[in-house]
Structure 1
Amino acid sequence: MRFSTFATVAAAALPFSSAYWTGFNVGANNIDGSCKSQADWTTAFNKLKGLPQHITSVRLYASSDCNTLANAVPAALATGVKILVGVWTEDSAHYTAEKNALEAAINAHGHDWIIAISVGSEDLYRGDTSASTLSQQIYDVRGMVRAMGVTQGVGHVDTWTAWVDNANKAVITASDFIGLDSYPYFQKSKISDASAVFWSAVDATRAQVNAVSPGKWVWITETGWPVSGDSLGDAVASVKNAQTYWRTIACACFKQTHVFWYAYQDYSANPSFGVFGSNGKAIYDLYGC
């Protein structure tokens, strides 16, 4: 595969201990629904750094909600963590607030803490916008941050089914990187088939990206297996299966692509994908990679 200039720069910026970003998705809310303070973000980042993989990369979903960047960026700078930034795109007022929060964070702290910027998350999958509108928002955010001296890539995160849809080619063209969310659980896969199902989605996305805009990296921005919740066909949510999925998928991804695991904490959802429980301890063994 021919790598883009952005991909080469991103790889060059990584620590010598790893060729790829290895991270977790981290939400802005605490277990009681309150917004994370700077101290809460610091606690989360230090906990991830304490894992065997020494996680120093995170993906955040938004910029203004819960004062995410205002609180998370100082914590990231203090702990040496880098952020894949999220900019929520839906409704014009929210989108403007998101851009303003990102602009404020860059003005206050520079941009060395940024891994990349994702404009939107699964908007195409949900059918909440058009490829034309979303691609223009990607260009809009890129123009804003480039004017501020930010060189990191600007792209979009969506499901593999959205990426392989020819109606969404404009978003591939607009993006510096392609963020892929893939969950064999939601495809009703047996845990024994999950690896094949996952890599099939990755391969299909890579093929579409290379056909539309050769050289762009496909990042794994969300994947995981639920520790609890309802079964979907042959897909059974359990700690055992989540452990198996980690050892077969996470360990393989860490060696060959950027990956952001879902999720750091996820208390009340059904299904629940959280790796750390309400007691602050890992629900399953994260060693072995």
Structure 2
Amino acid sequence: MKTGFFTFGAFALLQLVSAQPHKIRHRYRYERRDVVTEISYTTMTAAAVIVYVDTDGVPYTTSTIGEMPEITSTPSAALSSTSDLSLSPTSEAVEVAAVTPGTVTNSTITGSSSSIQSLASTSYPISSSPAYVPPSAAPSSVVSASSSSSQMPSSAPAATATPGSAIPLGVAYDGYTTTGCSNGQSTCCKSASQIASDFSAMKSYGIIRIYGVDCNQVANSLQNAISNGQKLIVGLYDMTAIQSGVQTIADAINTYANGKWDSIPLVTVGNEFVNTQTYTVSQMVDYLNWARGNLTNVHYTGPVGIVDTVPAVTDNPALCENSDYALVNCHAFFNSHSSAADAGNFVKGQVANVQQACPNKKVIVTESGWPKQGDSNGEAVPSPANQRAALASLQSNFNDSLIFFSAFDDSWKSNSAGTYDAEQYWGFL
């Protein structure tokens, strides 16, 4: 039984979807929208209730969590803690950066249910300090990194860029590892030489997506991308450290790209945080505007956008309306009625739904893939052969604007029943 959850107060029932790999991400449910539903909303103060449902949407148990914290405003002077990023009081950027979003962490999602705890255990590492500190939820024992014998180059889709495309076909990548860690750490940063080796394997892809700025991965990735003639999608993942994150990106640009931002055509903010209830829609819009203001101050003028799941974006168009692109993670594997061979058609259909919700924005699929190992989800079965079939199907339906997930297996992640024990096995290179 696949578990989804709903929060509601008194007369309102609002669906929340859960998600996948590196985060809480890949557990969201896709719904068939054959029935037009009229929803009325009543605003009231009440504790949040989670209603657990099966794949058919039938409730079977409930639990209660505390109220979601309100976002707080901080004087714009708070933005000047890093002098290089302090926004001029007379600049237009202050208008969008004046609100410093409050500190909200994954502890927002709490409760006695083990299924909620399993969601938090799959979060991406976030480090507020220069030296990477593995998350407390990192598994104490992990599956070892894939050996060369288990890698399947033949499953990799071709990575030719479409002429004139702003976002060519690309691949998702992170700089974390479980091998070679010291001081008893189970998860640590990849070395510069390891990242160089990884980029060599990803050389045929026109663009690489990275999720955060810790582990020195912006500097290391940027150097290799420039050397390979690639571009980077860089993510701001830690919403409590947007200002320092922007500075980290700017420092790498100044050091390795002569201050030119040509190698970074897109900066993303967050990753499925509305889907996972980590932050509210309004909070994410504030974070986006704060990031955009700080990026403008360091002379980045390219697109910026919030990344979330398809259901989160279609149910909350403000996410794409305030972004320069509609950015969605979409995995056919988490739809129990999708076979691997139909993955591309499924994702294409979901993109059409997003386009309808965001008619004035270009849709970019910031993640899409298929695991090669794990438990079956109805007709969605993980296997090496099915991974190859899914990737081929995706490529047959997309010439650009899609990021394949993921370059390599992620042994630092935690497998769970909620993610069909597949969290570590999405790598295809």
TM range (shorter): 0.7 to 0.9
Distance 1:193 1:223 in 2: 13
Q: Which is worse superposed, 37-46 or 258-267?
A: 37-46
Amino-acid identity (%): 26
Please report how far the alpha carbon of residue 29 of structure 1 lies from its aligned counterpart in structure 2 after TM superposition: 1.4
Q: In the alignment, what sits opposite 2:114?
A: none
The residue aligned with 1:30 is: 177
What does 1:43-58 align with in structure 2 at a 5 Å threshold? 43-49=197-203, 54-58=204-208
* 2:317 aligns with one of 150, 160, 169: 169
Supply the distance in 2 between the matched residues of 1:247 and 1:16 (Cα, whole angstroms): 17
Match for 2:250: what amino acid? E
Aligned partner of 2:337 among 164, 189, 194 = 189
Q: 1:114: which partner in 2?
A: 264
**Residue among 190, 207, 210 paired with 1:60:** 210
1:69 maps to which residue? Answer: 218
Aligned residue runs from structure 1 range 1-289, under 5 A: 17=163, 19=165, 20-30=167-177, 32=179, 33-49=187-203, 54-63=204-213, 65-90=214-239, 92=240, 94-108=241-255, 109=257, 110=259, 111-165=261-315, 168-191=316-339, 192-210=341-359, 214=360, 216-253=361-398, 255=399, 257-268=400-411, 270-271=421-422, 272-276=425-429
Q: Does the 8 Å CA contact 2:338/2:346 hold for their aligned counterparts?
A: no
Asked whether the 8 Å contact 2:269–2:304 carries over to 1, the reply is yes
TM-aligned CA deviation for residue 81 of structure 1: 1.9
Q: Confirm or deny: 8 A CA contact 1:221 1:260 kept in the other structure.
A: yes
Q: Do 1:42 and 1:76's aligned partners in 2 also have CA atoms closer than 8 Å?
A: no
Shift of 1:79: 2.3
**Helix, strand or coil: the match of 2:311?**
helix
Asked if structure 2 preserves the Cα contact closer than 8 Å seen for 1:265 and 1:275, the reply is yes
Aligned twin of 1:6: none
Aligned to 1:282: none
Match of 2:93 in 1: none
**In structure 2, do the counterparts of structure 1 residues 97 and 146 end up closer, same or farther at CA, with 3 Å as the change threshold?**
closer
In structure 2, give the amino acid aligned to 1:198: V
8 Å CA contact 1:160–1:181 kept in 2: the answer is yes
Distance 2:198 2:164 in 1: 21
Runs ≥4 residues deviating over 4 A: 14-18
Q: Deviations over 1:94-115 (max 9, x none)?
A: 4444233223223333212202
Q: CA deviation at 1:220?
A: 1.0
Task: Return the alpha-carbon distance in structure 1 between the equivalents of residues 288 and 202 of structure 2.
Answer: 30
Unaligned runs of 5+ in 1: 1-13, 277-289
Change (3 A) 1:80 1:24: same
CA distance in 1, matches of 2:328, 2:162: 25
Deviation at 1:18, TM superposition (A): 6.1
Note closer, same or farther for the CA distance 1:261–1:15 as it changes in structure 2 (3 Å cut): closer
- Note the C-alpha offset of 1:171: 2.1
* TM-score, structure 2 as length reference: 0.54
**Secondary structure, in 3 states, of the residue corresponding to 2:270?**
strand
Per the normalisation by structure 1, the TM-score is 0.79
Which stretches in structure 2 are left out of the alignment for 5+ residues? 1-159, 180-186, 416-420
Alpha-carbon distance in structure 1 between the residues aligned to 2:228 and 2:311: 36
C-alpha contact 1:45 1:56 (8 A) present in aligned 2: no
Residue by residue, what CA displacement relative to the aligned partner does 1:33-91 show, whole Å, maximum 9, x if unpaired? Answer: 43122322222222112xxxx2131000001x21221322222222222100100144x
Give SS of 2:333's match.
Answer: helix
* In 1, Cα distance between equivalents of 2:176 and 2:293: 30
Number of positions where the alignment pairs a residue of Structure 1 with one of Structure 2: 248
Which piece of structure 1 moves more, 151-160 or 18-27? Answer: 18-27
Structure-2 separation of matches of 1:146 and 1:98: 14
- DSSP 3-state at the match of 2:176: coil
Instruction: Judge which range, 195-204 or 100-109, deviates more.
Output: 100-109
